[in-house]
Amino acid sequence: MTKYLISFPSEAMVLTPEEFPIVVAESHAVIEEAKAAGVYVFGGGINEEVGPVLVSASGSVSTEIHPGSELTGGFTVLELPTREDAIEWAGKIAAACRCAQELREFGYDPAS
């Protein structure tokens, strides 16, 4: 089975204050469905109140991150048999979150 990253940047989700609790409930329902189906691996949102840091091999820390590596929003990792299944789940998450989702496939690593 292959792991898939389903994600969106925070600026893609544009909601009114009234819509927010509905979207939270519906997105949690999709996650519960994925858990019940045995395909859920992990999910969450980036805490944008805490800035990222770059840690070097020596352990030094810098607030300057790699150019172009800004990461915001939410993501879900699912383990699924086919890309078509991943597209179906991404559609469910898109409907619940009210925004299109990006779908990426993790490369297979036999050591992980």
pLDDT in tens, 2-55: 999 999 999 999 999 999 999 999 999 999 999 999 999 999 999 999 999 999
Residue 71 CB neighbours (<10 A): 12
Element (H, E) at 78: strand 74-80
Query: pLDDT tens digits for 76-107?
Result: 999 999 999 999 999 999 999 999 999 999 99
Q: Residue 30 is which amino acid?
A: V
pTM for this one?
A: 0.90
3-state secondary structure string, 21-61?
HHHHHHHHHHHHHHHHHCCEEEEEECCCCCCCCEECCCCCE
